[in-house]
Structure 1
Amino acid sequence: MDQQQLKQKVFDILDHHKVGSLATVEGGKPHSRFMTFFHDGLTLYTPTSDETHKAEEIDHNPNVHVLLGYNGDGFGNAYLEIEGTAKLNHSEALKDRIWNDQLNRWFDGKDDPNLTVLEIHPSQIRLMNEGEITPVTLDLS
C-alpha cells in the first residue's frame, strides 16, 4: 500500500467511525475514555467540558493517544492508532461546526459556557489490522 492509498484508507476510517477512545496522561499514567470524534483533514476534534478531568490533564500534558475505527464485530477490523497533541479550543465557529442535538445530553446548547473542543494534531497515524501489510504508518511530513 503506497502513501496515497494509506491516506485514503485513513480518511475512510475517519469518515465512517465517530466513536473511539481518547487517552490522556494523568500522574504519568494513561487515562482512557470513549469520545465522539470529528475531523477536518487529519485534525481531530471532540467536544468536552472545561470542567472535566481531561481538560485539566491536557493543560498539564498535551500528549494524547486515540484509537478509532474498530467495529467490535470480531477480529480483523481495521482501525487507527493516532498519537498527537491536544489543546482546548473555545472558538465559537468551531463549536457551531461540530454541534449536533445529541450533545444536548451534556450541554445546555452550543452556547453553554462550559463547552469546549479538544483539537488534536496527530504526530503519528498508524493503520492497524488491515491484513498482512499492517501496521503501517502514514507519512505526516
Structure 2
Amino acid sequence: MGPAIAVIALALAATGLLWLRRRLLVVTVDGPSMEPTYHQGDRVVVRRRHAAQLRLGDVVVIERPDDDGTWPAHSLPQRWLVKRVAALPGGKVPADLAPALAEQAGVDVPPGSLVLLGDNAANSYDSRYIGYFPADRLLGVVRRRMSPTAA
C-alpha cells in the first residue's frame, strides 16, 4: 500500500472514530437502583437518543438533579442516572408512583417530560421522588453492558 492510500485509510479511520464518539458513550453505573439488571460499577454503552426515539421499557441515562431537586445548569461534570422508561409524553402516568406523582396517576405525561423508574424500587431515586424528568436532560439509551460486574 502506497503512502497516499495509507494516509487516506488513516483519515477514514479517524473520521469513523469521531462519528462513533458522537453517537456512543460509556457510562459507569453508580448505585444499586437498577439491580438486578445493572450493578454498581457496571460500565454500559449508551447511544445518544432524543426522547422522541424512546420506547417504553428502554433503559436510559439522564442527567441527575441536584440534591435539592432542582435541575442544574448544563455544566461539567454532569452526574448521570440510569433508569427505565415507565411513561412517555402523552402516555399515562403509572398508578404506583407515590408520593411524587400519586395525584397524577392515569393522567397524560406532559410534553417534554418522562416518567423513569429504577428496577430496584426499594432503593431508587426516580420519578417516585423526583416526579417528571425533563426530556431535554436525556443522554441516550443503554445498548449493552460493556463489562461484567465484579464478583
TM range (shorter): under 0.3
* TM-score, structure 2 as length reference: 0.25
* TM-score, structure 1 as length reference: 0.26
Larger radius of gyration: 2
**Higher fraction of strand:** 1
